[in-house]
Structure 1
């Protein structure tokens, strides 16, 4: 089983920001505020500076790229302790959920009775509409979600795309993200079928297991993944400066 550091960096590589700079072993990331993962400092290991100065650099980088200063740190880690000691707080108001479960599981099997499924090399307008909410994605959305090597899974019913998923290789693992099914087609097996298509895509690329990052508030997704044999490997949280403390 991969360790926490390996999994965190694998997921980070599978979700590339527009800008990434090293800070010791940390990664500074920015992508025009599209997703927390692409717009936070990944605090793994040693930043190479005293923690107070490292957090000043995090703030300076964020402001220079017009994003909110934010740090992603593993639950219970030394980095979380250091953040709290410096007055940073969990970003409990983060809309997508600041507390995230990292799940590891087997490659999902193909469903016995599969709907019309395909994994495309290029995203379609319908895929973008489901995963990004628009057929005209922003520059950041295109960069993060449509990086080279990505697979774009779609499920169709009656000639309409009703489900979509993003698939990416991640250091020998399959990274699954943006699994979406239209509300009127939910609870009809499309989500599991899309994951099964992703499993087949992964096996063709010699990927060995699957990793997912899911908000702990997303109970429906967590239940689906539990049925497919996924278990929690670890959690991470987003941290921000206490109000008024972010450095300009």
Structure 2
């Protein structure tokens, strides 16, 4: 695998769906509809069969679990071009944005305005998952692995920190509207650094939709740069954008 595929594999390891299967190197995932990543086929590496056949397997797996078939590909990769040639189209209806920037950057140096908890609190769930009663799929995706649950001022902000190998994977960063523009997002990012470094991490990775300008500006200010992009694809008959 090349550097982009290796990083995508690590990100997938940090965001494990409760149901997974394989088609060669491709990873099929189902999580009851909770997030695009956990309910798509990560199409990297060699599927071991022709791409058209692999896509048929993606459809079978998705339909078995009551999901629309979705494929995640590295942007402008050989696999992405093969998926497009097979008649699939970008998933323009994906609410969070179908084109995503994968950013890498340094670990934060710590903050006295945020802390990393060993288990999620009710307030953390409310901010990170928009619920105080997470579904089994949400609980599995967000708590599986070496996870830290970052909170700022107890109830003002939250973040999920996961360590995979030498990578700190950041997700679900959220600050309550009435507490924004006070530097809490940066404090949460900074607090994750020492926690992750103590567990072997040396760098940080996160994923942001290319249309999320506020988040991109935040991370650029923290020293993050784009490593690559990925995109979600669907079959035309299952594209719900029109």
SS in 2 for 1:103: strand
Distance (whole Å) between structure 1 residues aligned to residue 140 and residue 200 of structure 2: 25
Distance (whole Å) between structure 2 residues aligned to residue 171 and residue 239 of structure 1: 29
Name segments (4+ residues, structure 1) moved above 3 Å: none
Distance (whole Å) between structure 1 residues aligned to residue 145 and residue 104 of structure 2: 23
Aligned partner (choices 177, 181, 191) of residue 187 of structure 1: 181
Residue matched to 1:19: 19
**Deviation of residue 56 (structure 1)?**
0.6
CA RMSD of aligned residues (A): 1.3
Residue matched to 2:159: 165
The alpha-carbon distance between structure 1 residues 155 and 244, as it changes in their structure 2 partners (threshold 3 A), is closer
TM, length-normalised to structure 1: 0.93
Summarize the alignment of residues 4-15 of structure 1 with structure 2, pairs less than 5 Å apart. Answer: 4-15=4-15
Distance (whole Å) between structure 1 residues aligned to residue 145 and residue 109 of structure 2: 25
Distance (whole Å) between structure 2 residues aligned to residue 244 and residue 171 of structure 1: 36
**Deviation of residue 109 (structure 1)?**
2.2
Which runs of no fewer than 5 residues in structure 2 stay unpaired?
none
Aligned partner (choices 129, 142, 146) of residue 143 of structure 2: 146
Distance (whole Å) between structure 2 residues aligned to residue 244 and residue 134 of structure 1: 28
Cα distance per residue 1:102-142 (max 9 Å; x no partner): 0000102224xx32x22111100000000111100111100
Residue matched to 1:29: 29
Distance (whole Å) between structure 2 residues aligned to residue 222 and residue 176 of structure 1: 14
**Deviation of residue 217 (structure 1)?**
1.0
Which runs of no fewer than 5 residues in structure 1 stay unpaired?
none
TM, length-normalised to structure 2: 0.96
Of 173-182 and 2-11, the range deviating more from structure 2: 2-11
Residue matched to 1:206: 200
Q: Give the aligned length.
A: 238
Aligned partner (choices 118, 122, 134) of residue 115 of structure 2: 118
SS in 2 for 1:243: helix
Cα distance per residue 1:2-54 (max 9 Å; x no partner): 81111000000000001111100100111101001100000001111111111
